[in-house]
Every structure is written in C-alpha cells, then in structure tokens.
A and B are shown apart, each in its own frame.
Chain A
Amino acid sequence: MRARTVISAIGGATIIISAWILMLLQPAGAHTLLVTARYVKMAPQGLDDPVWETAQAAQLLVEGREPVVGQNGTVISRALYTDDQLFFLFKWKDPTKSITKQSWMFDGQKWVHLQGNEDRIALLFEITRINKFGTRGCAITCHSPADVPRKGWKFATKTNDEKGDLWHWKAARSAPYDYADDAWLTVAGNPTGSYRTTGRRKDAGAGGDVKNETPDGTRPLFMQNPAIKPSVPGFLLLEETVKITNYSMFKTGDTIPYRLPLKPSGSRFDVKAISRYEDGGWMVMLYRKLDTGHEDDVIFNPKKRYSFAVAVFDDSGSEHSKATEPMTMLFSR
C-alpha cells in the first residue's frame, strides 16, 4: 500500500509539474518584440506616477527610413492597463524641441514662414486584420503598393477589409489639447477635404488644425484674442483667436503661429495625452479606453495579442520617420 502511495504521488506530481513546464515552453514567435501591458487597479496619475516603474520597460529600436537612413534611435516603452483603459508611456531622445510649425514672422515689410516643424510619435494598430502587418509592420502600409515605384507609395492598406487605427501625437498641433489625433487607415483614396491621396481618414468628430493665413496666403489671418488669457502659453488655439484687422500694429520680428489647433471632440479625441520635454527628450503618455464603442477604433481585449508599430518624427512635417519593426502587445495580470 505504501509503495502504491509513493507511485501515485510521483505520477500525480509528474502530471502537475509537466503541465507547468508546458506553460513555460509555449512556442512563440522568435523574432517579434513584445510589449507587455501590466494590469493595475488604479490608473497612473501622469508621467511621474511611480506605478510606471512596475511596468516592464521595452527598448524599441527605431530605424530611419529614407531620407533619414542610418538615423536610428531607441524609444523606451511601458504599458499599463486597468479594467477599462490602456496606458502607454514613451520616452525618446530628441535634441531639438520642435513645437512650432512654420510660424509666421514679420520681417518689417512682409510676413515670412520660419523654418521649423514639429516632433511627433505615431502608433498603428489593426482594427481588422491587415495582411502581413504582424510580420512586416508599418512597411506593409507605408510601402504600398509594393509593385509601383517608390514615389507612388501611399500610406494605406490594400483592401477595404483591412483597417488600421492610427494614434498621432503632434507636439505643435495636438499636444496643446492633451490628445493624440485619432485616425484610421484604409485603402488609398482622395476623400473630400484631403489634399493628397492616401489611406488616412479622420475619426468622427472635430480636431486637427487650420492654417492661419489669408486667402491669398501672404500673411496670418488670426491673432490671440486680447480679451482671453492663453490657456496654453506659447500656442495659439483657434477658439482663442480674433481676426487681424490692423496689420500695422506688428513690428519687425513679431511671430504668430501658422497652424492653429482646433478643439477636439468625438472619436477623434479618444486618445488622451500628457507630454513633457526635458533632458533632451520627450516623455509622452497616451491613454485610451479599451473599447471606445466607436467603429473607427481597435477594441482591446486583454486576452488577445495585438500587432502594432511605432514611428517617431523629429522636427518633421512629412512622412519621414524612424519606425520600429512589427511588435506585439500582450496584456498580463
């Protein structure tokens, strides 16, 4: 009887230990970078909340694409989630803080555009499956279609069934309202109001910016409303402006922002942001509901894994970026 007991105990223990080993030996992709979102009960309160230290830091290598080939860098990423929200914290080095975008300057005779653009970070997820996005990442949407010359490439998906969710934080145009412009990606087209043919579409709602220029494009149209104290110092928000009626009041060297952020709302305002520039780099926290209830957003199910990619833009007004390889986000309790 004693021998039986020992044998049974060994058998039972073997099954339990084997099952545990099996869980450790889950075969996984051997070349995909993982970003793990850790569950927390309370949402992080800003960039400096100590709870961020509990999230695993992933070093994301971003590689420059033409014309910035060789300009590689690293984005440190952490992710947390609560019962209803997902939070990202990104940190990356950027020696130049770029928060203006072609501001106007009066040179004494005429208005000219200053050099300078803005820093940005963009994330792309799949709303519905984008063929090969999980293995090729942004390359499959930026280098599209692959069978046409480079200048014909559009940021788009290849079929109507493939949809991406684009989160686009812009230091000059979305940061003043503490959000990342929420857009989505589909096949290339030229919808009403767009000035170029890509697959980028705005989520429902308001947001973005307007160009501050007169119809002939020679000078600014708006200035800060003297009756309103700027809510975000250094930025000119459209809702806080008045039309310029007397241009003689400006003296040489005066500047006025060229791109005026619009007050965001609706699905376009789903991704909230907190940002700070310090020690030669950006810290940007992006957060959103796991399920916004909007068709133009990816629904995050903590049981699933999600392919995504990140791109950072340094003082850039074009699509020239440094982007990651495809990555996978997991949720862990």
Chain B
Amino acid sequence: MDTLSEMLALGDIMARVKALRVPADALTWHRFSGSLLLVLLVLLFLSGAFMAFYYSPAPGAAYDSVDYALYSVPFGDVIKGVHHYGWNIFLIVLGLHLVRAFIVAAYKSPRQLIWVSGVLTLLLIPALIITGDLLPWDQNGFWTTQVRISIIASVPLVGDFMVRLIQGGPLTGIVALTRFYVLHILFLPALLIILIVIHFHFLKTRGLSEPLFKKGSQSKTISFFPQLINRWLLLFLAVTLVLGVLSWYWPAPLGDPADPTDSTFVPRPEWWVLSLNQLVTIFKGSLTVIGSVIIPGGLVVLLLALPFLDTSPDRHPARRKKVVLTAIVVAIILLGLSVMGYNEHFNGNVS
C-alpha cells in the first residue's frame, strides 16, 4: 500500500486519512442509518450505471431495452431489483434518519445546516423517482407520469411553464423521455452528491449530535481507516446480499408496454406518495392548488425552518412538547391520508 501510494504521490493524503479519527459510535449496530443510506446510494449508482449500459431513451425502444436488460442479461433482473428495492428502502431509511434526528434534536445549533442539507436530500429523492419511473416506458410509469404532470400543471402561474420545461412540450414523448433520462442519470445524481458532500462537510465541522441517554460517548474514537471503512464495507456486503436475495425471489416489476392511447389504464400511486395523492383527491377543482402546492409546500418550509423555529437548548423530547406534539399530529394526518389512499387504490380494485 505504501509503495502504491508513493508511486501515485498519495503519501500525504494517505497519512491524513490514517490519522483521521471519528466518534466510536459513528457506525454501530444501534446507529447505522446514515451509513446505510450511503451503502444504498452506492448500490443505486452502481445498479443504475449497469442499466444505463443497456438502456435506449426512445419510446419505441425503451421498453424493449429494459426487457432485454432484465431477462436476457445474466443477473439483469437482480440488478434491476437492487435498484428498485434500493430506492424504496433508501426513502424509508432517509425518513427514519430524519425522524431520529428530530427525536434527538440533532437539528439544533450548531447543526442547523446538517438538518437543512438532509431535508434537501429528502426532497431530491422524489425528483429522482419521478424521472426514473418513466424510463421503462411501461403502462404504469407512463400513466403515473401523466398524473404527476397534471398535478404540476395545476400549480398557478408557473405550472404550464414547468410542464413544458420538464417534458419539452405538451405531450410525453421522445423529448420528455430524453429529458427525464438526462435528469435522472446526470443532473439529479450530481445535485445529490453535492448535497451529500455539503452534509458531510457540516457533519465533520459541527460533529455528530450527542446521544440523549449517555453523555461523553463521543470522547471515544476509532480510526476512519481502516476501522470505520471496514465496518461500512461489512454493512455494504450485508445490504447487497439482502437486496440481491430479495430481488432474486421477488423480481422488480415491469408492466405492459406503454400505450399512450389507452386512457382506460388507471395507475396506482406508490406508497410514498399515497398521502400527497389523497390531498389532491380531497382538494378538487379550483382548490387543487391547496392539495398540490400549499399544504406540501408549507410542510417543506416547516421542515427546513425547524432549526430556526425551535431554538431552545433543550434536546430531550419530553422537554420539547410543542414541537413533538405538532410533529405527531402531522404524522398522524399523513398516515391517515395514506390509509385513505390505500383503501381507495388498493382495496377492491381489479388486479
């Protein structure tokens, strides 16, 4: 290693990496969500890069190229499955990561921007999902995109402009598919990496939040390399194995090829968007903007502003009753909307 690092003139960097110390609980069996997110992100990038080798972003060829990658390339279905389950679990873990940060008040000074960069990352994921869903050019992806486009179009003043910007015209065709593809594999991942780098920058400079239940644990440290890296690699292997097995036995779905003339197809919303979808269902007609913009936008603003609204030094949830109670009420409402959405779209319909 030393010889190689000397050859590559990396001696200084290696020395700095080896000297780097991190808190002992940066990655433990009870504190792993951040590292798990990084594992999932690497898997998403790798599996996405594999699929990009076979993908053709044109309506007449996209479906067949995905079909080929899935069923004709060895282990193609497993890799697609890793990508499919990867982003689903990424969203869950990211949500849990934020919930944990909220419970232990990790957003409080001096870590406000760690929280803000985390929330911005959370907001970026739906954009990646939305652009990714259209790519296979199957019925569900196509018609789900139509629903989403119609919701975006309902935004006052800028709705039509945004739709034209996103899909390059009034219809979802080859230009839209190309734009979604470029956004999905280039711009959005680049933005995601920038946000994560910012997140890590603030993590390094402001430090991990202190545990609520035990003080002084951060005085213990481990080496970044090799101790932390080895733990992370172990987690990487375990997650890869689990996702691989999951994808092998329950392959990622690929529906019928998209038929833009088949308006009878009723797309079902994905789990993460059930509550928002239900808001749009409740607020109809001239009130659509309440469900599509005002309420979701208000929640986003509230999340981003949280560190600047809750400035008390108290971190224990029992001493932050107002904030915790508000969060519980919002969570119950979102859960209730999701249950309503589930009943509407998944109970009693033809499968």
Which A residues have a C-beta under 8 Å from some C-beta of B?
A: 1, 3-5, 7-8, 11, 14-15, 18-19, 21-23, 25-34, 129, 131-132, 134-136, 301, 303-305, 307, 326, 328
Q: Name the interface residues of B199-229: CB closer than 8 Å to any CB of A.
A: 211, 213-214
Which chain B residues border A33 with CB–CB below 8 Å?
350
Instruction: Give 18 CB contacts A-B under 8 Å.
Output: A4-B213, A7-B100, A8-B30, A11-B33, A11-B96, A15-B93, A19-B246, A22-B88, A29-B139, A30-B266, A31-B265, A31-B350, A132-B262, A134-B139, A135-B259, A301-B71, A305-B255, A326-B256
Q: Which segment, of B109-117, B183-191, B267-275, faces chain A?
A: B267-275
Which chain B residues border A11 with CB–CB below 8 Å?
33, 96, 100
Which B residues have a C-beta under 8 Å from some C-beta of A?
A: 29-30, 33, 63-64, 67, 70-71, 77, 85, 88-89, 92-93, 96, 100, 139-140, 144, 211, 213-214, 246, 250-251, 253-257, 259, 261-262, 264-271, 342, 346, 349-351
Residue among A1, A27, A31 with most chain B CB within 10 A? A27
Give the residue of A1, A3, A28, A129 whose beta carbon is less than 8 angstroms from that of B255: A28
Question: CA–CA, A8 to B29, complex, Å?
Answer: 8
If A19-B88, A30-B350 touch, does A307 touch B256 (CB 8 Å cutoff)? yes
Asked if residues B77 and A28 are in contact (CB atoms below 8 Å), the reply is no
CB-CB nearest in chain B for A18: B92
Which chain B residues border A30 with CB–CB below 8 Å?
265-268, 349-351
Give the residue of B63, B214, B270 whose beta carbon is less than 8 angstroms from that of A27: B270
Tell me the smallest distance from the CB of A255 to a CB of chain B, in Å: 48
Tell me the smallest distance from the CB of A137 to a CB of chain B, in Å: 11
Asked if residues B346 and A29 are in contact (CB atoms below 8 Å), the reply is no
Which chain A residues border B270 with CB–CB below 8 Å?
25, 27
Question: Using a Cβ cutoff of 8 Å, how many contacts connect chains A and B?
Answer: 105
Asked if residues B254 and A135 are in contact (CB atoms below 8 Å), the reply is no
Asked if residues B85 and A135 are in contact (CB atoms below 8 Å), the reply is no
Tell me the smallest distance from the CB of B252 to a CB of chain A, in Å: 9
Which chain A residues border B351 with CB–CB below 8 Å?
28, 30, 34
Pairs of residues from A and B, 3 with the lowest C-beta to C-beta distance, nearest first: A134-B256, A30-B266, A8-B30
Asked if residues A303 and B259 are in contact (CB atoms below 8 Å), the reply is no
Residue among B30, B261, B266 with most chain A CB within 10 A? B30
Asked if residues B264 and A31 are in contact (CB atoms below 8 Å), the reply is yes
Give the residue of B67, B261, B264, B268 whose beta carbon is less than 8 angstroms from that of A28: B268
Which chain B residues border A21 with CB–CB below 8 Å?
271
Tell me the smallest distance from the CB of A50 to a CB of chain B, in Å: 27
Further contacts, 17 of them, CB under 8 A, given A15-B96, A134-B259: A7-B30, A25-B346, A27-B140, A27-B270, A29-B265, A30-B265, A30-B267, A30-B268, A31-B350, A33-B350, A129-B64, A129-B257, A131-B257, A135-B262, A135-B265, A305-B255, A328-B256
Question: CA–CA, A28 to B350, complex, Å?
Answer: 10
Which chain A residues border B255 with CB–CB below 8 Å?
28-29, 305
If A30-B349, A132-B259 touch, does A15 touch B89 (CB 8 Å cutoff)? yes
Which chain A residues border B71 with CB–CB below 8 Å?
301, 303-304
Question: CA–CA, A21 to B281, complex, Å?
Answer: 23
Which chain B residues border A29 with CB–CB below 8 Å?
139-140, 255-256, 265
Which chain B residues border A307 with CB–CB below 8 Å?
256
Question: CA–CA, A28 to B70, complex, Å?
Answer: 18
If A5-B30, A31-B350, A134-B256 touch, does A14 touch B96 (CB 8 Å cutoff)? yes
Asked if residues A135 and B92 are in contact (CB atoms below 8 Å), the reply is no
Asked if residues A19 and B265 are in contact (CB atoms below 8 Å), the reply is no
Question: CA–CA, A22 to B84, complex, Å?
Answer: 10
Which chain A residues border B64 with CB–CB below 8 Å?
129
Which chain A residues border B213 with CB–CB below 8 Å?
1, 3-4
Question: CA–CA, A18 to B342, complex, Å?
Answer: 14
Question: CA–CA, A252 to B251, complex, Å?
Answer: 66
Question: CA–CA, A8 to B30, complex, Å?
Answer: 5
Question: CA–CA, A4 to B31, complex, Å?
Answer: 9
Tell me the smallest distance from the CB of A34 to a CB of chain B, in Å: 6
Question: CA–CA, A22 to B243, complex, Å?
Answer: 13
Question: CA–CA, A23 to B246, complex, Å?
Answer: 10
Give the residue of A1, A19, A328 whose beta carbon is less than 8 angstroms from that of B92: A19
Asked if residues B264 and A22 are in contact (CB atoms below 8 Å), the reply is no
Question: CA–CA, A243 to B65, complex, Å?
Answer: 56
Question: CA–CA, A21 to B91, complex, Å?
Answer: 14
If A4-B30, A135-B262 touch, does A22 touch B140 (CB 8 Å cutoff)? no
Question: CA–CA, A23 to B271, complex, Å?
Answer: 10
Which chain B residues border A129 with CB–CB below 8 Å?
63-64, 67, 257
Question: CA–CA, A21 to B88, complex, Å?
Answer: 11
Give the residue of B88, B256, B271 whose beta carbon is less than 8 angstroms from that of A135: B256
CB-CB nearest in chain B for A11: B96
Which chain B residues border A131 with CB–CB below 8 Å?
257
CB-CB nearest in chain B for A301: B71
Which chain B residues border A23 with CB–CB below 8 Å?
250
Asked if residues B140 and A15 are in contact (CB atoms below 8 Å), the reply is no
Which chain B residues border A8 with CB–CB below 8 Å?
29-30
Tell me the smallest distance from the CB of B195 to a CB of chain A, in Å: 22
